[in-house]
Amino acid sequence: MKLTQRMKRIAQRAMLFLAIMGPGIITASADNDASGVATYSMAGSFYGYGFLWALVWVTFGEVVTQEMAARMGAVTGKGLTDLVRERFGVKIALFVMLGLILANLGTTAAQFAGIAASGELFGATRYVVVPLAAFVVWFLVLRGSYKHVEKALLFLSLYAVAYIASAYMVHPPWGEILRRTIIPTVHLEKHFLLALLATVGTTMTPWGCAYMQASVADKGVTMKEYPYTRLDVMVGAVLGNVVSAFIIICTAATLFVHGIRVDTAEQAALALAPLAGQWARQLFGIGLLGASLLAASVLPLATTYAVCEAFGWERGIDRRPDEAPMFYGLYTGLVMLSAAIVLIPGLPLFPLMWLSQVVNAVLLPAVMVFMLWLANDMQIMRIWRNSRLTNLFAVVLAVLITVATVILLGDALL
């Protein structure tokens, strides 16, 4: 009898977790987008296994920032820029919002660059593939309820399995991989720091924080259900960065050892050759397309939430267009503008994906300052304020990113 009751409780908790899950796993999966694939492929091909240690610390950082955002969403029922506007005023909210728009526009354009690159692997021109993908993204998000969109986005995140299988098939040196994961190696030179910032920026993103908080608030999660949301955040961060590690391992074991440096989609596709052979281009193209569509759906949504929160406009994809005209108009405009950027003749696709993540990393400390302020505000968070350990880790992370940025700027100026 006791065993039956215990099994019922376990089943009830599992069902509740499945009902709550989504924001954490979607946000982490979207981090392995076109920009993420480009960044990790380039890192693995240029520096071998040398960036695996960074992913360990980035995982901790992602858990800290995403958990903070999710907790604020559950406690207040409001998004990040909404809280910034209430606490600091419209001018500061506008400053945060402009930073998010700048980073998100570049990153969303990078997703359509990934779609264009995947189309070119199949012999299709970007001038056909990108407009078609923009319409699919727009239709997917704005014509479905939140639950339907969420399921579709989770389905698209399954593309990552190919990297894990390919990594095992090449039999990489697991002993060296473990050593490079544990022991940090840092080079204070421009290209290494740019790659490091891109690695941070493709995983810990300002848009990810805004999307996480807005989606938790939009879902109506309360502190009673929050433990399941926190688990969702942790599972999503770990799984997402495990995939990121396997992308680095694949490219290091197949490309770096042969002196191949990735700067095109064709070169990045070679990492999947051990698994797919002559079909590596097609498999990589499908994976890149799925990753790009996932993030191209989420990124404009995060930006639109942030803008509508900052100005107090109605928002939410469960609302009708006549109930939230600015929300629907902004989302449509962001998708169209991002797609139009990629259609500029001669625009290099892979460098655009990589450099967009550097912008994310540079803007992250500014967003974290406001998040820390809000997460420690007694009036807003009450008994659910940050712990000292959370504050310490977030401050150290922000300082390290700022120092790396200053070094890069100094190098550029001198």
CATH of domain 24-180+188-413: 1.20.1740.10
Helix ranges restricted to H, 89-173: 90-121, 126-142, 146-156, 161-169
Measured in degrees and rounded to the nearest 5, phi and psi for residue 263 equal -145, 10
290: nearest Cα among 108, 34, 23, 21: 34
| Contact status, residue 316 vs residue 188, Cβ threshold 8 Å | no
Q: What is the pTM of this model?
A: 0.83
Amino acid type, 298: V
**Local confidence pLDDT in tens for the 414 residues of the chain:** 444 544 434 444 444 444 445 555 555 555 567 788 888 988 999 999 999 999 999 898 889 998 999 999 999 998 888 898 888 888 888 888 888 888 888 888 988 998 999 898 888 999 999 999 999 888 877 776 555 665 665 666 566 677 888 888 888 999 999 999 999 888 878 888 888 888 888 888 887 788 788 888 878 888 888 888 888 888 888 888 888 899 999 899 999 988 888 888 888 888 888 877 778 888 888 778 877 887 888 788 778 877 887 777 887 777 788 888 898 899 999 999 999 999 998 888 877 787 788 888 888 888 888 999 999 999 999 999 999 999 998 888 888 888 888 877 776 666
- CB contact set of 314 (below 8 Å; sequence gap of 6+): 308, 323, 324, 326, 327
Tally of CA atoms within 13 A in the half-sphere of 377 that contains its CB: 18
- As a whole number of angstroms, the distance between CA 264 and CA 248 comes to 16
